[in-house]
Structure 1
Amino acid sequence: MVPTHIESEEVYDYIVCGGGTSGCVIAGRLAEDLNATVLVLEAGPDNADLENVHMAGGWSKNFDSDLDWNIVTEPMTAVDGRQVKCSRGRFLGGSSGVNGTLCIRGIKQDYDDWELKEWTGDKMFGYMAKSETFHGKDWFKAEPSVHGSSGPLHIEPHDLAPISELVRDSMVDQGLPYHPDMFSTGETPHGCGDVPRTVHKGIRSTAADFITKGYRRENITIKTDVTVDKVTLSKSSSDLTVTGVLAISKDGTQTEYRARKEVIISAGAYCSPAILMRSGLGPKDELAKHGIETQVDLPGVGKNLMDHVLCFIFYEVLKPGLTNDHLAYHDNAIASTYQLYQETKSGILSTFPFGIFGFARLDERLKDVPLWRDAPRAPGRDPMGLTPSQPNIEFWNTELYGGPKQFTDFPVDHKHAFALCTLLFNQHSRGSVTLRSKNPLELPVVDHNYLADPLDMLVMTEACRFANEIVMKGKATRDVVKGSWPSDLTHHAFTKREDWEPYVKQQATTCYHASGTCAMGKLDNPNTVLDSRLNVKGVKNLRVADMSSIPTVNNGHTQMVAYGIGEGAAEIIKEDAKTKA
């Protein structure tokens, strides 16, 4: 189809490219100024009628469909040439509508390490709290001072299944003390606790709530099923200024929208660099491959791709009633489970099937390993670049059999299973995002380069060994698990770290925390794409504000960081608008 070009007369103060987590926050906050007009361009549909968005337990039904960007990595050498599916939400609200609902902020030092005055740990924790309205429960010992009470994002603690209570007790037994609200306070690098979720009264709360429902203002225009191709640029003397964007609607119509003040790209770590590159803003040699004229040579665009590598370790449970498998996989249980949700917004479909969580430091476990012992390190830091206040890894358990869609050994024959998940922090390996072509409807080329650095593999394998010890040696779990699920695996017998390397190569997958591909930083660093106020270097009136903007990914999960970036970006844009006025 040859696009039909329309020169639009539509002019807005701000154009937000991408209606995902950060983009919706930015649009909603900018629209608080009723004199400002805001346009949101989203590639997918509205989420209002998408049941499997609002019903958190239906999350995986959105994948491998037109509600998913369906991005798959290139084959990655360090994981035996495997490719990994990197699903992303392709609808209003973006990945806030398909993620694990987890509110894990990380540690304040994570953000202080960016060394940017606009994005300190205190400021980021404040931004994250601003987005939320926290709803407590009688059993949950919250730290009220760190939670928000007036944001559009409604969050609450998760009621644990029996298996999660046992895993928690085994974590404590194996040296991870219990700190209930540690994932909100950001003060515990070695312990376990409960995680608030972006679910309230059985309904998932998403970023789209910032511009819909009670926050839909007349000065916000939302256009769905519209893919942003590139920004439009005007050059006068030595200044390059963004004047609007070129976008393609579902029927192939190509339309130019104009911006009086700014364009904000919030299309995520995979698509934001692609928009920049199609606009001629990126590595000169990469743009030349696709016949794109370079407007500003920015070598860092699409580089510095980070994620948190994740590994599921499955176990069979000997006793019934500990996991929730009987509510999902046994006989026709899912039908009554679904009916329960329809009638009362309760049951396992009303939440996400993850249980208790833990952070851990691995200094003592690795101190005698030559690779760790002899690795270079900065003063006060370990070989991964972390201080003692920051965790090396994260653990959590599933409350039934479940994980990425490649895991299909469902316990349908009245058996019971769960996984203990292991996640790697502060990986050294870096990947890239490049263009497949200059066609905006073609997906970019993504190479996460997982576990390419030997230190990454060392920490990940030791973490899996620790996770296995929690289950197989922990007093609360060791007598209720048979061992591996399915039974042909033997990881429960692994005692050496080296035993885990083949398993990790086979099972390593994404935690959907892609970040860093349009990183902000010091202006004198040639690899940074943005300044500390999210302005694209060498261009006026253009910012990138989403998870692609961060220099290094936090040691936690990224949902709340995306909200924090959105809140911080909106404040900065408002401040700068006053300066320009």
Structure 2
Amino acid sequence: MAPARVQQDDTFDYIICGGGTSGCVIAGRLAEDLNATILVLEAGPDSADLENVHMPGGWSNNFDSETDWNIVTEPMKAVNNRQVKLSRGRFLGGSSGVNGTLCIRGTKQDYDDWNLEGWSGEEMWKYMAKAETFHAKDWHKADTNVHGTSGPLHTEPHDLAPISELVKESMIDQGLPYRADMFATGESPHGCGDVTRTVYQGVRSTAADFITKGYRRENITIKTDATVDKVILEKKDGHLTATGIAAIQKDGNRVEYKARKEVVVSAGAYCSPPILMRSGLGPKEELERLDIDCKVDLPGVGKNLQDHVLIFAFYEVNKPNLTNDHLVYHDNAVASTYELYKEKKTGLLSTFPFGVFAYARLDDRLKDVPLWRDAPRQPGRDPMGLLPNQPNVEYWNTELYGGPKQMTDFPVNHQSAFAMCTLLFNQHSRGSVTLKTADPLANPAVDHAYLQDPLDILVMSEACRLGNEIVMQGSATKDLVKGSWPPELTHHTHTTREDWEPVLREHATTCYHPSGTCKMGADDDAEAVLDNRLRVRGVKGLRVADVSVVPRVNNGHTQMVAYGIGEGAAEMIKADAKANA
């Protein structure tokens, strides 16, 4: 039975479909023009009273509930037909309220490689800095030239646990020199350093801050618990034009809102493609299969799905209190830890438990491997398509036991454990997002195709081998490891790529960086959904602005990319409105 239709006469200048990271930034910046009216539609609830959004250590408690999109992949052949849970924030602020709080921009070359006007490395650095207010700490040697000082997003460096200081020493010992602010400057592809976090004084800063708190303006209307079904498209002056949207409220009723100027779809790499497809914008054959009238045949919608494949390899340590396990798993420690947070906004729950980070180039380690040596490559680039100033992989340690939800072997008997996390950049494998049904309340089918390309498995296996060497041979950690955790695992004895390949196929998971499914591109790029100003091909008054627009995901994390895209999109929307006035 179709939901009841509720006619609404509400009309706004701009409608933002999705109150996540980029969407909130765009709404906040457009609202700086007090004569503009903006509607933000968010499928989930308001986040103001969601404690586990604002308390950094409570992040995982937002999952597996109404505050999670609860998307699960299709079975993926190269990882033993496993399905992987793809948790995403479903509330105002979106995944900026559940992510790892990490500000890892990648390198400027990553964005130069997009080769799109308006999105160079220099321009993206400017957009990302605009979003930020950076708070320094005496011990951290920050490069103040790359950090912002006046944005709604508050950031600060992370104070390392003892285990992280030791991992840092081992990284340096194994050839990854320390460069304090390398993840903000984006100038080093090989080394270790500190990572700025979207936390300030114990409270997580999210994209919702751009339209709430001190930035709540009267010209912004926020509608939560409203799932966008489709964009309303009409012929105007001979052009297919976005004139509004249709959404489903929590009570099941259907609502429609009109847009005078533009509709901006900002629902993320998994949810923006379904909105376009339900609107009749996408691969013609796929739409017709679901009896959706194809208004513009855009074969790239839902294609080009990318992520960063991730492995957690845990090690048990033989000394107490180096990790933070004793502050949460041992005895009744979690109660006192929680009380400390409630009273003073300090302690374990005021932080996200990731420690020191590193980038590494692997071409010297792989140069004699036939698959690497003989693989096709572009001039000056390695077989993964990367220049010498771009990293192949990233490492970091956890400061206690914990990670993906399937990790449940908590060290409750006074054991201590930490992980060396290994993350693959610039994977060759590409996945897809497709509609299972035209029902707007149904999740799409997501296939990430993890490790499908042989080069991906080769590079990731070598990366895990190096990560294990850092722990097991590094001067500060080699004598601390009691064994792998849980004890039945044997990661600490894995010394070859062949040792690591079955581990990858059984345990590789997501780093929650889905990207690329509505990509920007040049006019001759048949898979491009958008032009370089984020405008949907064949439609006037419609843009997509979130990490789905990136042609190739950066060699870093995607939080700051989402903020940068939001800032860049807002500037472009304002400029185009002025030009068309």
TM-score (norm. length: structure 1): 1.00
Match of 1:481 in 2: 481
SS of the residue corresponding to residue 119 of structure 1 reads coil
Give the C-alpha shift of residue 525 in structure 1: 1.0
1:2 and 1:252 in contact (8 A); partners too:
no
TM-score (norm. length: structure 2): 1.00
Q: 1:175-190 alignment to 2 at 5 Å?
A: 175-190=175-190
CA distance in 1, matches of 2:481, 2:490: 13
Residue 525 of structure 1 aligns with an amino acid whose one-letter code is D
Match of 1:170 in 2: 170
CA distance in 2, matches of 1:134, 1:380: 36
CA distance in 1, matches of 2:214, 2:256: 30
CA distance in 2, matches of 1:77, 1:237: 49
What are the superposed Cα offsets for residues 257-285 of structure 1, whole Å, 9 maximum, x if unpaired? 00000000000000000000000000000
Corresponding position: 1:393 with 2:393: yes
CA distance in 2, matches of 1:141, 1:200: 18
Corresponding position: 1:57 with 2:57: yes
CA distance in 2, matches of 1:390, 1:176: 14
Corresponding position: 1:133 with 2:133: yes
CA distance in 1, matches of 2:389, 2:250: 48
What are the superposed Cα offsets for residues 428-461 of structure 1, whole Å, 9 maximum, x if unpaired? 0000000010000000000000000000000000
Corresponding position: 1:504 with 2:493: no
Give the C-alpha shift of residue 495 in structure 1: 1.3
What are the superposed Cα offsets for residues 115-161 of structure 1, whole Å, 9 maximum, x if unpaired? 00110000001100100000010000000110000000000000000
Residue 313 of structure 1 aligns with an amino acid whose one-letter code is A
CA distance in 1, matches of 2:483, 2:536: 52
Match of 1:73 in 2: 73
Match of 1:303 in 2: 303
Match of 1:96 in 2: 96
Corresponding position: 1:108 with 2:108: yes
Corresponding position: 1:39 with 2:21: no
Residue 445 of structure 2 aligns with an amino acid whose one-letter code is V
SS of the residue corresponding to residue 436 of structure 2 reads coil
Corresponding position: 1:537 with 2:537: yes
SS of the residue corresponding to residue 172 of structure 1 reads helix
Residue 289 of structure 1 aligns with an amino acid whose one-letter code is R
Q: 1:449-488 alignment to 2 at 5 Å?
A: 449-488=449-488
Structure 1 stretches (4+) deviating beyond 4 angstroms?
Answer: none
CA distance in 2, matches of 1:17, 1:527: 23
Residue 375 of structure 1 aligns with an amino acid whose one-letter code is A
Corresponding position: 1:264 with 2:264: yes
SS of the residue corresponding to residue 117 of structure 1 reads coil
SS of the residue corresponding to residue 159 of structure 1 reads coil
What are the superposed Cα offsets for residues 20-49 of structure 1, whole Å, 9 maximum, x if unpaired? 000000000000000000000000000000
What are the superposed Cα offsets for residues 35-86 of structure 1, whole Å, 9 maximum, x if unpaired? 0000000000000000000001000000001100000000000000000000
Match of 2:347 in 1: 347
Give the C-alpha shift of residue 351 in structure 1: 0.7
Residue 520 of structure 1 aligns with an amino acid whose one-letter code is M
CA distance in 1, matches of 2:491, 2:178: 27
CA distance in 2, matches of 1:136, 1:123: 24
SS of the residue corresponding to residue 118 of structure 1 reads coil
CA distance in 1, matches of 2:254, 2:525: 36
CA distance in 2, matches of 1:325, 1:19: 35
Match of 1:410 in 2: 410
Which deviates further from its counterpart, 521-530 or 425-434? 521-530
SS of the residue corresponding to residue 503 of structure 1 reads helix
SS of the residue corresponding to residue 146 of structure 1 reads coil
Give the C-alpha shift of residue 483 in structure 1: 2.0
SS of the residue corresponding to residue 7 of structure 2 reads strand
What are the superposed Cα offsets for residues 387-437 of structure 1, whole Å, 9 maximum, x if unpaired? 000000000000000100101110000000000000000000000000010
Match of 2:286 in 1: 286
Q: 1:20-31 alignment to 2 at 5 Å?
A: 20-31=20-31
Give the C-alpha shift of residue 240 in structure 1: 0.3
What are the superposed Cα offsets for residues 201-253 of structure 1, whole Å, 9 maximum, x if unpaired? 00000000000000000000000000000000111464100100000100011
User: What is the percent sequence identity of the aligned residues?
Assistant: 75
Give the C-alpha shift of residue 2 in structure 1: 3.3
Match of 2:316 in 1: 316
Match of 2:519 in 1: 519
CA distance in 2, matches of 1:555, 1:154: 23
Corresponding position: 1:212 with 2:212: yes
CA distance in 1, matches of 2:483, 2:180: 28
Match of 1:234 in 2: 234
Give the C-alpha shift of residue 577 in structure 1: 0.2
CA distance in 2, matches of 1:338, 1:289: 51
SS of the residue corresponding to residue 525 of structure 2 reads coil
CA distance in 2, matches of 1:155, 1:124: 18
SS of the residue corresponding to residue 25 of structure 2 reads helix
RMSD, aligned α-carbons: 0.6
Residue 543 of structure 2 aligns with an amino acid whose one-letter code is R
Residue 350 of structure 1 aligns with an amino acid whose one-letter code is S
Structure 1 stretches of 5 or more lacking a match?
none
Corresponding position: 1:223 with 2:216: no
Residue 243 of structure 1 aligns with an amino acid whose one-letter code is T
CA distance in 1, matches of 2:151, 2:483: 44
Distance 1:526 1:238, change over 3 A: farther
CA distance in 2, matches of 1:523, 1:344: 55
Give the C-alpha shift of residue 4 in structure 1: 1.2
SS of the residue corresponding to residue 126 of structure 1 reads helix
Match of 2:433 in 1: 433
CA distance in 1, matches of 2:332, 2:63: 23
Match of 2:154 in 1: 154
